[in-house]
Chains A and B, each alone.
Chain A
C-alpha cells in the first residue's frame, strides 16, 4: 500500500489568507484526489489532480478557490484561497492503488481552522 504524507497536519488561519497543503506519496501513482471533510460530515471529493494538466473539479468546487498542482506522479498541492470560517475542515489527499485493485489510500489529513 502507498504511504502518503501530508503537510501541515493542522493549522489555524486568519480569514482572507490562503494556505497550501502538500501531499507526498512514496511511489508513483496515476490517480490522486483531494477530499474535504467538514465538521461532523462525511467526505466530499474536491477534485482529481492530473499530472501535467489542469485538475478536474467536482460540482461546487472551482479552480480559483482551490488551485491544485501536480508536477509529477508522487506529489500534489492543494491551496485553499481567501479562506473564510466555512473552509474550516479536514482536507485529505488520496491515491488509487497502482495495481488496479481500485483500493483507495488516504493521507493523515490536514486540519484547518479559519478564524
Chain B
C-alpha cells in the first residue's frame, strides 16, 4: 500500500528566501506525482505534475523534482512571497490506478 509523507508539517520563512518542501513515498512504481496548493477552507489548485519518466518540472518560481529510486520529490519555491502562504500537498498515483494517495501536507507561512 502506497504511503506518502511530507516533512515538516509546518514551515515559516522570511519573505524573499528560497525554500524546499519534501515529499517521500514508499512504493516507487508510480505513474505520476502531483503537487497541489490549498488555501484555508478551499479546494486544491494543481501546481505541477511530474510523469514517472520525468525528473523535474518548472512553472514560474516553482520547480518540482522527482527521484523514483529513492522515493522522493521536492518542491522548490524561489524568492518566496507572502502570497505563497498555504498548505502544499503532494500526491502520487501508481500504475494501473487512477487514484491518488495524498500526503498530509506542509503548511507554509511566509513572514513579510
- Quick one: closest A residue to B101, CB to CB? A45
Residues of A contacting B102 in the complex (Cβ-Cβ under 8 angstroms): 42-44
Binds A, one of B13-21, B43-51, B68-76, B78-86: B43-51
Asked if B91 is at the interface (CB within 8 A of a chain A CB), the reply is yes
CA distance A114 to B46 in the complex (A): 29
Contact of B99 among A1, A45, A105 (CB under 8 A): A45
Residues of B contacting A111 in the complex (Cβ-Cβ under 8 angstroms): 41
Contact of B105 among A33, A42, A94, A102 (CB under 8 A): A42
Contact of B34 with A109 in the complex, beta carbons under 8 Å: no
CA distance A33 to B42 in the complex (A): 17
Identify whether the interface residues of B are mostly helix, strand, loop, or mixed: strand
Contact of A109 among B42, B51, B91, B98 (CB under 8 A): B42
**Are A92 and B43 also in contact (CB < 8 A) when A43-B89, A43-B102, A102-B51 are?**
yes
CA distance A44 to B103 in the complex (A): 10
Asked if A87 is at the interface (CB within 8 A of a chain B CB), the reply is no
Q: Give 1 or 0 for each of A93-115: 1 = CB within 8 Å of chain B CB.
A: 01010000111111111010000
Excluding A106-B43, A109-B42, 7 further A-B contacts by CB distance (< 8 Å) are A33-B99, A42-B105, A43-B91, A102-B34, A102-B49, A106-B44, A108-B42
Asked if B32 is at the interface (CB within 8 A of a chain A CB), the reply is yes
Which B residues have a C-beta under 8 Å from some C-beta of A? Answer: 31-32, 34, 36, 41-46, 49, 51, 89, 91, 93, 98-100, 102-105
**Are A96 and B98 also in contact (CB < 8 A) when A42-B89, A102-B31, A104-B91 are?**
yes
Q: Which of A57-115 contact B (CB under 8 A)?
A: 90, 92, 94, 96, 101-109, 111
Asked if A41 is at the interface (CB within 8 A of a chain B CB), the reply is yes
Residues of B contacting A42 in the complex (Cβ-Cβ under 8 angstroms): 89, 102-105
Contact of A103 with B49 in the complex, beta carbons under 8 Å: yes
Contact of B43 with A101 in the complex, beta carbons under 8 Å: no
